[in-house]
Amino acid sequence: MTETKELKFSEAAMADIQRYISHYPEGRQKSAILPILHIAQAEFGGWVSPEAMDLVAGILNIQPIEVYEVATFYTMFNLKPVGKHVLEVCRTGPCCLRGADQMIDMLKQKLNIEEGETTADGMFTLKPVECLASCGTGPMLQVREKFYENIDSEERLDQFLETMRNTEVETPFHQTELTKNLH
Residues of this chain that interact with ligand FES (CB under 6 A) are 90, 92, 94-95, 131-135, 138, 140
CB of 150 to ligand FES, least distance (A): 12
Q: Quick one: 92 or 102, whose CB is closer to ligand FES? A: 92
Q: Quick one: 65 or 131, whose CB is closer to ligand FES? A: 131
DSSP code per residue over 6-57: PP---HHHHHHHHHHHHTS-TT-GGGGHHHHHHHHHHHTTSS--HHHHHHHH
Q: Quick one: 140 or 161, whose CB is closer to ligand FES? A: 140
Q: Quick one: 59 or 140, whose CB is closer to ligand FES? A: 140
CB of 133 to ligand FES, least distance (A): 6
CB of 153 to ligand FES, least distance (A): 17
Q: Before 172, cis peptide (omega within 30)?
A: yes
- Stated as kind and residue range, the H or E segment containing 86 is strand 85-90
The whole-angstrom separation of Cα 13 and Cα 154 is 40
Q: Quick one: 37 or 132, whose CB is closer to ligand FES? A: 132
Phi, psi dihedral angles at 41 (to 5 degrees)? -60, -40
Phi-psi region of 99 (alpha: psi -120 to 50; beta: other; left: phi over 0): left
CB of 61 to ligand FES, least distance (A): 37
Q: How many residues does the chain have?
A: 183
CB of 123 to ligand FES, least distance (A): 24
The whole-angstrom separation of Cα 92 and Cα 104 is 12
